[in-house]
Every structure is written in C-alpha cells, then in structure tokens.
Amino acid sequence: MHRPPAPFSKATGQRVLADDGAWLASGVASLNAYDDRTFTPLEDLSVLSSTEYTVLEHPLFPHHSVRIKKSDFCDGTVPAYTGYIDNDARHLFFYFFESRDNPDKDDVIFWTNGGPGGSSAIGLFMELGPCRVITPDNVTFNPYSWNAYANIFFVDQPVGVGFSYAEYGETVDNSVDAGRDIAVFTAIFFEHFTKFKGRPFHMAGESYAGRYIPVFATEVYELNAKLLQAGLNPVNLSSIMIGNGCTHEPTMTSSYYNMQCQNISVPPVQSLKTCIAMKQGLPLCEKMMNRSCDDAFNPIDCTAASLFCYSLLMDPFVDTGYNPYDISELCDGPYEDTLCYPVTKHIQAFLNRPDVQHTLGVDDPVKNYSLTSEQVGLAFQLRQDDMFPTQYYISGLLERGIRALIYVGANDWICNWVGNERMTLILEWTGHDEFVSQPLREWEVDGTPAGLTRSAGPLTFATIFGAGHMVPYNKPKESLELVKRWLAKEKL
C-alpha cells in the first residue's frame, strides 16, 4: 500500500543517483577468477529439507547467499518454500509457491508490495496469494491465486519490513539500493534451480512498487550483462507488471483533484466550495512540482511544493473519512490501526503466532510483527525517493523489448487511474505516438465489461471496474484473467 504521508517531515533529502553498476566492483575479482567447474547447482527443489535451511551460494556474489527450505503451507496443493536473501548482515525474507498448473513449464513472477515499508504478506494473504487469512485462526484456499498459472515469489523488502531484518541496524532508504539484493537473488535462484533457467520472468507489485519495479527490473537487466560476461545464462526478464502504482509523483498529485471533484469513477465526494478552492490552487501546485521536483530537482523547494499540494488536495480528502484505497466507501476503522481494512489486523495476528513463525522458518521469534514499517517509510521520505523519476526506467525497459503492464483499480484514490494514464501518455519512447493514438476501449471477462484498456507494442494500460487499490482483493476473477492473458501474450 502507498500510505498518505501524514504528518509530513521537513525533509531536505538528496536525489538518488544510480552508479552504473559500481556496486559490483567488490565482485570483479570473483568474476575474473570464475570457473564453472567450481560451481555445482542444487538443481531441484525436491532435495530441499523441511527442517533446516539449505544455503545457496555463488562465486560471482561473495557477499550474498540464499537460504531456502520447504514450508508447505497456505496452498495445500503445491509445494511451498520460505527463506532469506542474505547480504552479509542484512536478511530479506521471502515466500515461494510453485504453479498449480505446470510448475515445470510455467513462468516465474516476483511480487512486492509498496509503502514504502509495506510487507508483501499483504499481497500474499489478502490479495493474490494461494490462501487468504480470514481470522488469526482461519486461512482459506484462494482459487484465484496468481499461482494458478505461474510460479511466484513474495518478498519482504527492504530490510526492516515484515520478517526482514538487519543485524547491526543497517537501513536502506532508496529504491536503487533496494533493487540490488533482488537482482542478485534472482541470479542465484535461476542458476541453482536449473529447471527454471530461461523461463520468462515477470517483476510485479503495487502502489509504491510503481517506483520499485522499474528500478528492480533495470537492476536485473543490467546484471544480465555481468552474467553473460561470466559465461552464465542471463535471467529471462520478460515484463514488468505494476498495479495501482505511484510512479510519477507530479502527475499523480494533480489527479487527486479529478478523483474527488469530478464524476469519474464515482460521483464527487467533496463539497463544491472545497473543489473550487482546489481548482484555483491546482495551477500553482502543478507549476511548483514540475519546476522543483521534476524539471530540476531542488530538495528544499520540492518539499515546499509537496507540502503546498498535499495541503490543498490531500488533507481535505482525509477529512472526508473516505477510504483512500477505495473512494467508493468510507474507511473501515481508524486508518492508523487497520489501513481501512480490518483483515490486515487478522493477518498481522496470524503472523505473530509462534507456530506460524516456526513453520515459516523465521530466524528468531518476532513478538511484535507488523505489516508496515514506519521507520522504513520515513527513511525513504527523508531521502525523497518518491520524487526519483522512475518513469524513465519504464521508457528504457520498453526500448529494450521488456513489456510493461500498468493496471489500475478504477476506484483507487491514492494511486489512481487518472494519474497512471497521464504517466503512460507522457512516457518518452519510440512507441509513444502509436500508444497515444489508440483510444481507450473496453475489455471483457466472460462477456462482461471488466475495464478500459489501451495498448501499443510492449506497453498496455488497463483499468478494472469496481476495484480499488488492491485489485486482486476486490476483483479476484478479473485480476487472474488479466494476468493469465498477460503471461500468454494475449490481447485484452
């Protein structure tokens, strides 16, 4: 979930800059000395133990390893695994489920939730995972899980989120640094479990993952050059899939007016007087954000612009009591306690159970597990990572043949379809003119309109009627059909 930033800090922050692969410098010696005769892949998941971790290492990445074990739970029809991505003293927790259809041939999906600071257990146990937590003691089978057609990972990242932790207080405060461990993890996994080699790999997520996923996919793409240099198979990065993403902050911020004051997805939820005040202040908001946050980043001026725009457009919405993740309904319970969905409290209680943590293989008992980390969210906010122009990563990936699906629940407010459509329409890539020329058209599921879509070449934009921020939660059948067609490269 992408959490409304309240209260705002007076952050100055600095722009996050990529370092063109300099982070691999420590592995250059390993790369030059690499000899495939010294590396024996594990090959088959069936050899893993259910009582202890198997450690996967790789000579190209001396600081990284992966621990993995069988943890058959949740689905009941296919094997499940859990483990940690270890980078020295940093440890990222993950879940992995094989496909219900054909695990030996189906694609592989990586999933992360957003926040920043949101655990992917939300996606797993509330949205697209093989089971759903109903109460702390009641877990039900999800027939619409995305593992109906794909092998799928859920990763708690960065450190400090969910069951992921750092031994000595290490932190990550930007998307670029967060993506490096993910890229190495994918390389180690595909190299060890040879049956997955060459499989199409899709990187997916929602909300703040609109920033994560383009950067993470770029890290995987760039790392592939290092793998090829070492004579290894690259990861077959096929696509990115962003659900209700907050990718470009200026276009998303201005769309908050449209969603609460115009009869778009639902009738206006604001008073006429408030909407007029918003409309009058919107040009200045857009000018300030474009000038200070987008065209030429100035951390102090960008903070001032953000404070002005959020006060103008966001604070009045919060006062209405409506659910920022589904503008068609009021928030259910205090936002700080439930995120407007009481089921999140049940998921949190479920994962706080000692027997559940034992089954999952959590390193040390966690007594106060939380689905969200305020510390991680604040660290990213202070770094102003939300202003980093990740839409350029999407453009770059499209130019390199990586497909991109931008799908949006039509009732979401916080990362809404208006802002996402604007972002796709201004993307700078060679297919821009063709994409913009396409009208929005309805797509259907079982003969019933499911949403609107526009596509050209490797880029597809789609809305889902009746869904909020978490599309698989509100519209599980339509969500699964969307993913099924995307994986099969079928037109919506």
DSSP-based three-state secondary structure for 79: coil
> Can the peptide bond before residue 158 be classed as cis, meaning omega within 30 degrees of 0?
yes
| Residue 86 known to be catalytic | no
According to the model, what pLDDT value does residue 106 have?
A: 97
Q: 442: pLDDT confidence band, cut at 50, 70 and 90?
A: very high
Catalytic, out of 181, 412, 455, 479: 412
According to the model, what pLDDT value does residue 462 have?
A: 98
Instruction: Give me the mean pLDDT over the 61-82 stretch.
Output: 93
Instruction: Give me the mean pLDDT over the 87-100 stretch.
Output: 96
According to the model, what pLDDT value does residue 1 have?
A: 65
Give the Cα separation of 128 and 471 in Å (integer).
9
Is the Cα torsion angle 441, 446, 451, 456 positive or negative in sign? negative
| Residue 120 known to be catalytic | no
Residue 264, amino acid: I
DSSP 21: T
| 337-382 tens-digit pLDDT | 999 999 999 999 999 999 999 999 999 889 899 999 999 999 999 9
From the number of C-beta atoms within 10 Å of its C-beta (0-12, 13-18, 19+), residue 134 rates as: middle
CB 385 within 8 A of CB 173: yes
Which stretches does DSSP call E strand in 309-440? 322-323, 326-330, 403-409
Q: Is the pLDDT of residue 178 over 90?
A: yes
| 399-440 tens-digit pLDDT | 999 999 999 999 999 999 999 999 999 999 999 999 999 999
CB 424 within 8 A of CB 406: yes
| 18-31 tens-digit pLDDT | 344 444 444 444 44
Q: What share of the chain is helix, strand, coil (3-state, %, to 5)?
A: 40, 20, 40
Superfamily of domain 22-250+387-487: Alpha/Beta hydrolase fold, catalytic domain (3.40.50.1820)
Percent of the chain with pLDDT strictly greater than 90: 83
Domain boundaries, the chain: 22-250+387-487
| Residue 207 known to be catalytic | yes
Q: Is the pLDDT of residue 11 over 80?
A: no
Residue with tokens 């597990």: 369
CB 133 within 8 A of CB 125: yes
Give the Cα separation of 357 and 465 in Å (integer).
37
Catalytic, out of 207, 239, 328, 373: 207
pTM (global) more than 0.75: yes
Catalytic, out of 64, 294, 469, 479: 469
Find the helix packing angle between 272-289 and 299-313, rounded to 10°: 170
Percent of the chain with pLDDT strictly greater than 70: 92
Is the Cα torsion angle 120, 121, 126, 132 positive or negative in sign? positive
How confident is the prediction for the chain on average, in pLDDT?
91
Residue 407, amino acid: Y
According to the model, what pLDDT value does residue 118 have?
A: 95
Q: Which residues contact 342 (CB under 8 A, 6 or more apart)?
A: 332, 333
